[in-house]
Amino acid sequence: DQQVKQNSPSLSVQEGRISILNCDYTNSMFDYFLWYKKYPAEGPTFLISISSIKDKNEDGRFTVFLNKSAKHLSLHIVPSQPGDSAVYFCAASVTGSQGNLIFGKGTKLSVKP
């Protein structure tokens, strides 16, 4: 049973437009959420995180929104750039579990020039 779901395997966006990547979770105990970016043949790299006490966190072109009642979070990239083309993983954890991250299956983002 998947606790973290990314229902869109892929997303294609034009350069300069907004990219919105979605993630749903089922475990109401999750209280810390992260997004990772992964290029081919490399390890995932941390992008942005959000605690459940917030509903928004922004870092430059990247913003993560959290809707706890819907158990849904989204990553917005504005404006999208070709270098953003990668697989994006959503991850969640229960802080009492000492950082055991549960990942979604990932969404492959392609940003077209």
Does residue 14 bind other proteins (CB under 8 A)?
no
Among residues 60, 83, 96, 113, which is the contact residue for other proteins, using CB under 8 A?
96
Per the CB < 8 A criterion, the answer to whether 106 and 18 are in contact is no
Question: CB 110 → other proteins: shortest distance, Å?
Answer: 17
Does residue 103 bind other proteins (CB under 8 A)?
yes
Q: Which amino acid belongs to residue 92? A: A
Q: Point out which residues bind other proteins (CB under 8 A).
A: 6, 32, 34, 36, 41-46, 49, 51, 89, 91, 93, 95-106
